[in-house]
């Protein structure tokens, strides 16, 4: 019966990995947008490419793992990984065609209009040939590892994950050449010296290598040169037993990232069919693993595409970080926070306020303890330096390190060891649960009593990402909030199994239950004929039970407004199912990352924000913290920001059953609202000292 119910629900739930393509298409739309500055369009192409690589390394590889499940059980659960992979590949192919059009037909010509020429080896002038030859001999040759592969006898060739190679076709079709492109050592692009010319010439190092292939394989007749790139499974399939230190297991298992099973071989579409077939068989790949592409791969390298002109018109104009009205002039954060809760909004405000708070705590003689959860630890920063300083000053520092933060495991564990060496109490991940909450607590002796100060946010403690992620955070000394947050840290330290809480929402203990209760409360109000509404902003919406409840709430007459940046498994606006659900998504200059939830509550709105999306993992398998806002002024501020985002009619796309990604159009007489800039101006006025 449970399986039948799940099957019925599946009919009205989109597959997350297929719908994710709709999100990446929105990134591609930004690259296609002529109003986006030229170098920012290049960055959106880089983001699109980077997203796609990770999708294949993580999600597509997971679909392949499902194929190992017993076929009869897969059938009963409606798991169809092969069908879904085919659907993904079909969508990717369509997107890559648009990608090529944007890059070759629009961006390359527009670069030329600004005297920036991306040229290939056949276009090198004689002086450029000489310069490229010198660079090749001195910088590139030492990093090359050429091989001649015999398809029948050689079995030891391994293509590293995400590394670019040339497959070189010889006259002898039983062999091919394999040549790495040393991007990590040499960079992806080479800028030719500019000798008093207004024109700048840039080339891929691939093309410099391409021009020298006949020298690298001197005794072979070269018939063709084709670029390939392998994507491999990025998951770390670790046993979840409790013995041993999980951090050590992860650290020692990171090499699996390069040795994981193949999930995609991207190849130059011009590669001859017979060579393609030989490569596929040699590497043990299926036809579904092969993905045709262009002449060049790894467009994520365009994050570092050089701008020799320093033309500011080709980039977004800098937004000067806003000065917080109360924290900026404060010389005593403890006094300022004790007087009133303080709300921060990144990237419109500087992360330095968080760093200054920890620096002050590290030096304050009355501070006894600092506790913090770190999900993605930045490289050496003011924050990590301040924590080390606190240890030098004899503070009790407790750091929870999430060892399973994908792609940041090694850096997280390295920093955990540094803190341990200094005397911190460092706690690593639990085998079956992640700690995703963004929380900090400082304990201070005041008048002989222990006073707590807390920070709860939606984004990581990372100054670099705070400049590109839209996040919210609060400093508070509210007794009930800080008391409950201390219990969360007690759970992390193993001193408490289940935290008692009435104010904070804490996963996996109360978040789901409270959200379900609040949704049902709105359903009851609607059925009584009273106004009922739910507004939710998040990164992703996936949890089947929450989606099913939202469908029921829509049917009951609750007005539901969703703002989901990434993928969503919910089908909005479907007759007889979700007619009262309207969903949009914003992709713009900064990455929308905040999670905000608002419930009508019979006219007394309830507002929460924190680290959890409505995904099963965030509700049931992660330590997450969301907080209410009890300060009326701050609740109004966050509510105003949310409403600005809901009214975006420049960068918002409508999410519908057809996944059309249609831009929201302003109504007649309606002003244009580009929410990220509108929020900046709103906060600028609110925090003005005039």
Task: Compare 87 and 467 and report the one with higher pLDDT.
Answer: 467
Q: Who contacts 480 (Cβ-Cβ below 8 Å, separation ≥6)?
A: 502, 503
- Pick out the residues of the known binding site for ATP: 51, 469, 565, 593
Q: Based on the fold, state whether residues 493 and 535 are members of the same structural domain.
A: no
Q: How far is CA 183 from CA 139, 164, 228, 259, in A?
A: 11, 8, 14, 20
Binding site residue list for Mg(2+): 376, 406
Residue 316 has pLDDT above 90, yes or no: yes
Confidence tier at 288 by pLDDT (50, 70, 90): confident
Give the end of a domain, one of 480, 499, 518. Answer: 499
How far is it, in rounded angstroms, from Cα 140 to Cα 209?
8
How does pLDDT run across 528-563, given as a tens digit for each residue?
Answer: 999 999 999 999 999 999 999 999 999 999 999 999
Are residues 372 and 255 part of one domain? no
For residues 610 and 424, the answer to whether their CB atoms sit within 8 Å is no
No. of helices (H) and no. of strands (E), the chain: 24, 27
Same domain, 535 and 636: yes
Q: Which percentage of the chain shows pLDDT scores above 70?
A: 88
pLDDT confidence tier of residue 246, bands split at 50, 70 and 90: very low
Q: Phi first, then psi: what are they for 551, rounded to 5°?
A: -60, -45
- pLDDT band at residue 259 under the 50/70/90 scheme: low
Structure tokens at 559: 């007005």
Round to whole Å and give the CA distance between 329 and 345.
17
* 46, 188 contact by CB (below 8 A): no
Give me the number of domains the chain comprises.
3
Q: Which class for 450: exposed (0-12), middle (13-18), buried (19 or more C-beta within 10 A)?
A: exposed
State pLDDT tens for residues 171-194. 988 899 999 999 999 999 999 998
| CA count, 13 A, side-chain hemisphere, 312 | 3
Query: Of 254, 288, 306, which closes a domain?
Result: 306
- Considering the domain architecture, whether residues 290 and 356 belong to the same structural domain is answered as no
Measured CA to CA, the distance from residue 4 to residue 76 in angstroms comes to: 9
- What is the rounded average pLDDT of the residues 123-128? 93
Candidate ranges 219-233, 392-406, 428-442; pick with highest mean pLDDT = 219-233
Contact 572, 550 (CB under 8 A): no
| Lowest mean per-residue pLDDT among 71-85, 90-104, 119-133, 242-256 | 242-256
Residue for token digits 């507002």? Answer: 607
- Of 481, 499, 517, which residue is a domain's last? 499
492 and 516, same domain (yes or no): no
**Do residues 300 and 443 both lie within one domain?**
no
Cα 549 to Cα 545: distance, rounded to the nearest angstrom: 6
And the tokens for 159? 């293509």
Give pLDDT, residue 146: 94
Asked if the structure places residue 417 within a domain, the reply is yes
For residue 84, the model assigns a pLDDT of: 76
596 against 87, higher pLDDT: 596
Does some domain include residue 23?
no
User: Which CATH number goes with the domain that contains 251?
Assistant: 3.30.1840.10
The whole-angstrom distance between residue 337's C-alpha and the CA centroid of its chain comes to: 31
CATH code, domain with 542 = 3.30.870.10
pLDDT at 257 over 60: no
- Where residue 143 falls (left for φ over 0; alpha for ψ -120 to 50; beta otherwise) is alpha
Burial 203-236 (b: 16+ CB within 10 A, else e): bbbbbbbbbbbeebbeebeeebbbbbbbbbbbbb
Helices 246-253 & 409-422 angle (0-180, nearest 10): 130
Report pLDDT digits (tens) over 387-431: 999 999 999 999 988 765 444 566 677 777 888 899 999 887 665
* In a shared domain, residues 528 and 390: no
* Distances from the Cα of 420 to the Cα of 307, 416, 425, angstroms: 42, 6, 6
For residue 42, is it within any domain? Answer: no
Q: Given this model, what pLDDT does residue 361 score?
A: 98
Task: Name the residue among 190, 187, 201 with its Cα closest to residue 132.
Answer: 190
Higher local confidence (pLDDT), 269 or 231: 269
Whether 529 and 488 share a structural domain? no
pLDDT band per the 50, 70, 90 thresholds, residue 607: very high
Question: Does any domain span residue 101?
Answer: no
Q: Does residue 530 fall inside a structural domain?
A: yes
One domain for residues 635 and 681: yes
**489 and 551 in a common domain:** no
Burial class of residue 33, CB neighbours in 10 A (0-12, 13-18, 19+): middle
Position 24 in a domain: no
Q: CB count, 10 Å around CB of 98?
A: 15
Q: Which of 267-276, 294-303, 395-404, 635-644 is predicted least confidently?
A: 395-404
Domain carrying residue 652 = 507-686
At 22-71, the pLDDT tens digits run 999 999 999 999 999 999 999 999 999 988 877 776 666 666 555 554 45
| Residue 48: inside a domain | no
C-beta atoms surrounding 642 within 10 Å: 24
Q: How far is CA 576 from the centre of its chain?
A: 34
The residue written with tokens 């090694």 in the block is 410
Beta strands at 591-592 and 147-150: parallel, antiparallel or unpaired: unpaired
Q: Is residue 77 predicted with pLDDT exceeding 60?
A: no
- Write the burial class of residue 75 (CB in 10 Å: 0-12 exposed, 13-18 middle, 19+ buried): exposed
- Please tell me whether residues 494 and 537 are part of one structural domain: no
Residue 238 has pLDDT above 50, yes or no: no
The residues with which 614 forms a beta bridge, in sequence order, are 541
436 has catalytic annotation: yes
428 Rama sector, left if φ>0, alpha if ψ -120 to 50, beta otherwise = beta
Q: Which of 436, 472, 478, 687 is catalytic?
A: 436
Residue 611 has pLDDT above 50, yes or no: yes
Q: What is the pLDDT of residue 672?
A: 97
Q: How far apart are CA 296 and CA 270, in angstroms?
A: 12
Mean pLDDT of the chain: 88
Is 75 domain-assigned?
A: no
Rounded to whole angstroms, the Cα distance separating 271 from 166 reads 11
Confidence of residue 236 (pLDDT cuts 50, 70, 90): very low
Rounded to 5 degrees, what angle do the CA atoms 210, 214, 216 make?
Answer: 85
Residues 441 and 421 in one domain: yes
């Amino acid at each position: 019966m449970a399986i039948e119910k799940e099957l019925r629900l599946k009919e009205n739930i989109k597959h997350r990995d297929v719908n994710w393509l709709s999100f990446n298409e929105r990134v591609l739309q930004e690259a296609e947008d002529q109003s986006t500055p030229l170098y920012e369009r290049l960055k959106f192409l880089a983001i699109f490419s980077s997203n796609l690589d990770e999708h294949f390394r993580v999600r597509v590889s997971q679909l392949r793992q499902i194929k190992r499940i017993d076929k009869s059980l897969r059938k009963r659960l409606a798991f169809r990984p092969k069908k879904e992979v085919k659907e993904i590949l079909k969508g990717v192919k369509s997107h890559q065609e648009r990608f090529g059009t944007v890059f070759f037909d629009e961006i390359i010509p527009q670069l030329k209009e600004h005297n920036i020429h991306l040229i290939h080896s056949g276009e090198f002038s004689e002086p450029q040939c000489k310069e490229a030859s010198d660079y090749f001999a001195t910088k590139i040759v030492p990093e090359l590892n050429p091989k001649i592969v015999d398809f029948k006898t050689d079995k030891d060739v391994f293509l590293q994950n995400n590394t670019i190679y040339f497959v070189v076709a010889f006259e002898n079709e039983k062999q091919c050449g394999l040549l790495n492109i040393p991007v990590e050592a040499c960079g992806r692009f080479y800028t030719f010296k500019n000798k008093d010319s207004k024109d700048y010439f840039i080339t891929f190092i691939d093309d410099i290598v391409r021009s020298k292939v006949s020298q690298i394989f001197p005794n072979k007749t070269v018939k063709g040169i084709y670029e390939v790139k392998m994507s491999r499974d990025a998951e770390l399939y670790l046993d979840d037993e409790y013995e041993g230190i999980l951090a050590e297991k992860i650290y020692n298992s990171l090499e699996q990232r390069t040795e994981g099973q193949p999930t995609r071989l991207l190849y130059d579409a011009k590669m001859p069919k017979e060579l393609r077939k030989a490569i596929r068989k040699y590497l043990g790949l299926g036809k579904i693993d092969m993905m045709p592409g262009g002449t060049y791969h790894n467009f994520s390298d365009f994050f570092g595409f050089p701008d020799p002109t320093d033309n500011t018109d080709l980039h977004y104009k800098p937004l000067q970080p806003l000065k917080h009205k109360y924290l900026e002039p404060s010389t005593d954060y403890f006094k300022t926070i004790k007087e009133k809760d303080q709300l921060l909004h990144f990237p419109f405000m500087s992360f330095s306020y968080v760093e200054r708070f920890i620096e002050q705590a590290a030096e304050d003689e009355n501070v006894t303890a600092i506790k913090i959860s770190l999900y993605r630890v930045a490289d050496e920063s003011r924050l990590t330096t301040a924590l080390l300083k606190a240890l030098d000053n004899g503070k009790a520092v407790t750091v929870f390190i999430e060892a399973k933060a994908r792609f940041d495991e090694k850096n997280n564990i390295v920093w955990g060891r540094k803190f341990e060496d200094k005397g911190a109490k460092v706690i690593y991940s639990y085998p079956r649960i992640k700690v995703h909450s963004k929380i900090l607590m400082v304990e201070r002796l005041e008048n002989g009593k222990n006073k707590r100060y807390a920070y709860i946010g939606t984004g990581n403690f990372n100054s670099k990402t705070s400049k590109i992620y839209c996040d919210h955070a609060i400093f508070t000394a509210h007794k009930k909030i800080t008391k409950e947050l201390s219990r969360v840290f007690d759970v992390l330290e193993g001193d408490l199994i289940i935290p008692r809480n009435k104010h904070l929402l804490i996963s996996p203990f109360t978040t789901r239950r409270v959200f379900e209760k609040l949704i049902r409360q709105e359903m009851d109000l609607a059925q009584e004929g009273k106004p009922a509404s739910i507004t939710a902003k998040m990164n992703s919406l996936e949890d089947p039970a929450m989606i099913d409840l939202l469908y029921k709430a829509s049917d009951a007459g609750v007005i539901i407004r969703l703002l989901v940046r990434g993928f969503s498994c919910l089908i909005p606006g479907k007759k007889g199912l979700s007619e009262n659900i309207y969903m949009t998504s914003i992709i713009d200059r900064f990455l929308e990352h905040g999670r905000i939830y608002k419930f009508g509550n019979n006219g007394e709105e309830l507002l929460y924000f924190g680290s959890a999306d409505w995904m099963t993992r965030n509700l049931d398998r992660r330590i997450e913290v969301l907080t209410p806002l009890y300060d009326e002024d701050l609740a109004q501020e966050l509510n105003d920001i949310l409403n600005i985002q809901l009214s975006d009619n420049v960068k918002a796309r409508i999410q519908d059953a057809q996944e059309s990604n249609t831009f929201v159009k302003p109504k007649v007489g309606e002003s244009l609202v580009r929410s990220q800039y509108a929020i900046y101006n709103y906060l600028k006025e609110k925090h003005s000292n005039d």
